[in-house]
Chain A
């Protein structure tokens, strides 16, 4: 994550995310990375921080999103990943847990639910004919209920679960998860599923970068104007 710091799947995602948006992504920069990430997937189907570790929502998102950026999602066992992540939505609360047998947490609304658009896209690219053309493979309304009814702080901001205090991290990821739950697909296939009044509808977010899709497009276009820098110092 930084010089002398820890090594885990998050840094691969951060690097891939930044490099792809700023047009500095070269095969050399990420050589071996995709294979390493694939080794982080374990018997549970999810992805851990490093090879051997327990499957965890945050790391799974980072791993999957990084592989999407590197166009190597096929290195994963997508079916077991799908099985794992769908098992993480809590049948009573509607929100997601980060790992098996743990409690629900608002932030996983993004880390876990955000995997489903990525999986949908990857399976679609493989020619899977069973995919819905209108919904992600999780209960979008139930997640929205959890976020809107349980994760809001009366003074503003969002949180992990009732009883916890608000913070920027949870505010960010609860809202991001809400956006994922409300918007399926894009362009011609866009389908909105909004719980409650229409004003509840948020702007859609890009499932890989979690910023507005227009911003992704603009960033990419802007940096494409510049050549990929060489690693040798001038």
Chain B
């Protein structure tokens, strides 16, 4: 379930460099300089049609290569061909990718290939003629759900292995958009399951951005034209994906208490800011959450007519971006009064000893004054 390189510059004993302990695979570093060029060369010769390799050999060679260097696009592409020809099970590549990510948590090519594999799996899944016997007996929805959960795990692990792992969090968002269809349930589940994680990684801007994405998506879902928003958030998917999304949107009867969610988010921010002074990410997140809370869908539709932003901002932006909601004269919500925020800022400024914290607090107050007109 994990791979790693064992620093071992010389082969002392005449034995295999492979070490397997408790399901973790280690490779002694001395052998890499022999192994990698060897397999690399073999694959290139195959690609140049100078030397034939049968499918088992191809699978082995690409596997070895990718565990040593997962950013080798050609190797992933060979595996794409094997998958398309039916000789390689796509699930194997999900496993291989997962292993590679334990050592190379950012590897762009691994994430990209992973999305390609998942797209293959969904297409397979949505074909109406496909009998369930090929899907381990599970119903398609169940299968998708399991895939989604697994992806959330893989992303979470990778995010933990490298700070602000853009690729891991982007992938996570992609999975929610294209596999989970941004259902209210999954959005709420993700909000609760990432809460602990972000509290343990207070500088991880990507993690907090993910929460903004979740909250924004929830806000989007509760707007009456949510069907339209859901479809527009899936630019790369057409046809059967769209109709599935619309069904899901219609089925979402439960209303989400957005103000409550935003309030909880503010509480989380406040607590973290108090406990961990000087993290810009927390203040950014706080800014944006407060901004959202003052421009709920009900007020923003009314307020859009009042948009008097002098710079003639584009009005064609999606509900996603908050700029259409940054109004100077918006009605205030009672639950999150700015007075509370001012009190909070004052408290921070009077008790903190961290220079950055003081700066962020001052900037936040300035922002409150400018943007909320209070």
Interface residues of A, Cβ cutoff 8 Å to B: 4-7, 35-36, 38-39, 41-44, 48-54, 56, 74-80, 99-102, 126
Contacts and interface: CB of A to CB of B under 8 A. Distances in A.
Contact of B320 (A52, A100, A101): A52
Given A7-B236, A52-B213, A54-B209, A42 B316 contact: no
A50 B237 CA distance: 14
B80 A75 contact: no
Interface of B: 73, 77, 80, 108, 112, 115-116, 163-164, 166, 169-170, 173-174, 177, 203-206, 209, 212-213, 216, 233, 235-236, 279-281, 284, 288, 291, 311-314, 316-318, 320-323
Given A77-B323, A100-B205, A43 B235 contact: no
A76 B314 contact: yes
A49 B115 CA distance: 15
Given A38-B316, A54-B166, 19 more contacts: A4-B77, A6-B112, A39-B317, A41-B317, A43-B288, A43-B323, A44-B284, A51-B318, A52-B213, A52-B233, A53-B173, A76-B314, A77-B314, A77-B317, A77-B321, A99-B164, A99-B205, A101-B281, A126-B312
A48 B80 CA distance: 27
A101 B170 contact: no
B313 A77 contact: yes
B209 A6 contact: no
Nearest to A36: B235
Mostly helix, strand, loop or mixed at chain A's interface? loop
A43 B316 CA distance: 15
A51 B169 contact: no
A80 B323 contact: yes
B115 A102 contact: no
Contact of A101 (B80, B235, B280): B280
A38 to B, nearest CB: 7
A54 B313 contact: no
A54 B288 contact: no
A43 B318 contact: no
15 contacts: A5-B112, A6-B108, A6-B112, A6-B115, A39-B317, A42-B320, A43-B212, A43-B320, A48-B170, A49-B166, A50-B174, A50-B235, A54-B166, A78-B311, A100-B205
A100 B314 CA distance: 25
Given A6-B115, A54-B209, A102-B164, A75 B316 contact: yes
A52 B314 CA distance: 18
A79 B173 contact: no
A42 B321 contact: yes
A44 to B, nearest CB: 7
